[in-house]
Amino acid sequence: MSLRRLVPSLIIFTALILAGLLSVGSNHFLLKGYAVVEQQQMLANLQRLRHALSSELDALRFLAKDWAFWDDSYQFMETRDEAFLQSNLVDTTFTNLRLNLILFLDSNGAPAFAGAFDLEQKKRVALPSGLDAHIGPGGLLLTSGETKDTRQGFLALPGGLLMVAAAPILTSNNEGPARGALVMARFMTEAEWARVAERVQLPLRTAPVAGGEAVDPEPLVKILGENRIAGILPLTGLTGQPVLRLTLENSRAVMGEGRKSARYFAIALCLISGFYMLLIWGLLERLVIAPLLRLSGDTRRITSTSEHSARVVAQGPLELRSLERDINEMLGALERSQQQTLEEGRRLEHLAHHDALTGLPNRLLLEARLNHALQQARRGGRRIAVLFLDLDRFKLINDNLGHPIGDKLLQRVAERLTALLRSEDTVARLGGDEFTLVLEHLSHIGVAASVARKVLKALTQPFEVDGHELSISASIGIALFPDNADAADLLLQRADLAMYKAKESGRNAFAFYSSDLTFSASDYYALELDLKRALGREEFRIHLQPLVDPSGNLVGAEALLRWHHPQRGLLLPGDFITLAEESGVIVPIGQWLLESLCGHAAAWAGPPLRIAVNLSSRQLLDEDLPRLAEQALKRGNLPPQRLELEIAEEMVAERVEEYSGVLEQLHALGIGIALDKFGAGHLSPADLARLPLTRVKTDLSLMAQLPETPEQGSAMRAVIAMAHGLGLKVTAKGVETPAQRDLLVALGCDEMQGFLFGGPVELSAFSPLFRNGFTPRRYENP
**What are the helix (H) ranges across 149-252?**
190-200
Nearest to 446 by CA among 572, 619, 558: 572
CA dihedral 134→140→142→147, nearest 10 degrees, is -160
* Confidence at 491, pLDDT banded by 50, 70, 90: very high
* Confidence at 297, pLDDT banded by 50, 70, 90: low
Q: 63-109 pLDDT, tens per residue? A: 999 999 999 999 999 999 999 999 999 999 999 999 999 999 998 88
| Residue 445: predicted pLDDT | 78
Three-state DSSP at 671 gives: coil
User: Domain limits of the chain?
Assistant: 318-352, 354-527, 539-771
CA dihedral 253→254→255→258, nearest 10 degrees, is 120
Give the other-Cβ count within 10 Å of 418's Cβ: 14
For the purposes of burial, counting CB atoms within 10 Å of the CB of 615, is it exposed (0-12), middle (13-18) or buried (19 or more)? buried
Cα–Cα distance between 438 and 384 in angstroms, integer? 7
* Confidence at 327, pLDDT banded by 50, 70, 90: low
| Residue 229: predicted pLDDT | 84
Name every residue whose Cβ is closer than 8 Å to that of residue 156 and which is 6 or more positions away in sequence: 162, 208, 237, 243, 244
Higher pLDDT, 301 or 331: 301
| Residue 219: predicted pLDDT | 85
Which segment of 37-51, 291-305, 349-363, 614-628 scores lowest on mean pLDDT?
A: 291-305
* Confidence at 516, pLDDT banded by 50, 70, 90: very low
Biggest distance spanned by C-alpha atoms of the chain? 122
CA dihedral 216→220→224→228, nearest 10 degrees, is 150
Cα–Cα distance between 525 and 450 in angstroms, integer? 11
* Confidence at 538, pLDDT banded by 50, 70, 90: very high
| Residue 230: predicted pLDDT | 82
Whether the domain at 354-527 and the domain at 539-771 fall into the same CATH topology: no
Nearest to 748 by CA among 771, 722, 774: 722
Distances, alpha carbon 567 to alpha carbons 295, 445, 523, 571, in Å: 97, 19, 12, 11
pTM value > 0.85: no
Q: Phi-psi region for residue 492, left (φ > 0), alpha (ψ -120 to 50) or beta?
A: alpha
Give the E-state strand segments of 459-524 in sequence order.
463-465, 468-470, 473-481, 509-512, 519-520
Helix, strand, coil share of the chain (percent; to 5): 50, 20, 30
Using an 8 Å Cβ cutoff, are 651 and 618 in contact? no
Topology classification of domain 354-527: Alpha-Beta Plaits (3.30.70)
Could you name the CATH architecture of 539-771?
Alpha-Beta Barrel (3.20)
| Residue 518: predicted pLDDT | 41
Higher pLDDT, 467 or 682: 467
**Which range scores top for mean pLDDT: 243-247, 332-336, 505-509, 572-576?**
243-247
Cα–Cα distance between 509 and 475 in angstroms, integer? 5
Which segment of 123-137, 185-199, 262-276 scores lowest on mean pLDDT?
A: 262-276
Q: Report the b/e string of 667-679 with b at 16+ CB within 10 A.
A: beeebbbbbbbbb
Nearest to 642 by CA among 616, 677, 607: 607
Using an 8 Å Cβ cutoff, are 427 and 436 in contact? yes
Using an 8 Å Cβ cutoff, are 104 and 76 in contact? yes
Which segment of 148-152, 439-443, 666-670, 705-709 scores lowest on mean pLDDT?
A: 705-709
Q: Report the b/e string of 469-506 with b at 16+ CB within 10 A.
A: ebebebbbbbbbbeebbeebeebbbbbbbbbebbbebe
- pLDDT, mean over the chain: 84
Cα–Cα distance between 460 and 600 in angstroms, integer? 49
| Residue 92: predicted pLDDT | 93
Name every residue whose Cβ is closer than 8 Å to that of residue 761 and which is 6 or more positions away in sequence: 543, 544, 545, 769
Cα–Cα distance between 243 and 235 in angstroms, integer? 6
Three-state DSSP at 522 gives: helix
End-to-end, the C-alpha distance of the chain in Å comes to 100
DSSP symbol at 210: P
Cα–Cα distance between 455 and 508 in angstroms, integer? 10
**Mind spelling out the 3-state secondary structure of 673-720?**
EEEEEECCCCCCHHHHHHCCCCEEEECHHHHCCCCCCHHHHHHHHHHH
| Residue 267: predicted pLDDT | 78
Name every residue whose Cβ is closer than 8 Å to that of residue 737 and which is 6 or more positions away in sequence: 756
Using an 8 Å Cβ cutoff, are 352 and 364 in contact? yes
pLDDT of residue 780 exceeding 90, the answer is: no
| Residue 138: predicted pLDDT | 73
Using an 8 Å Cβ cutoff, are 729 and 694 in contact? yes
Cα–Cα distance between 244 and 369 in angstroms, integer? 64
Cα–Cα distance between 425 and 448 in angstroms, integer? 12
Using an 8 Å Cβ cutoff, are 188 and 106 in contact? no
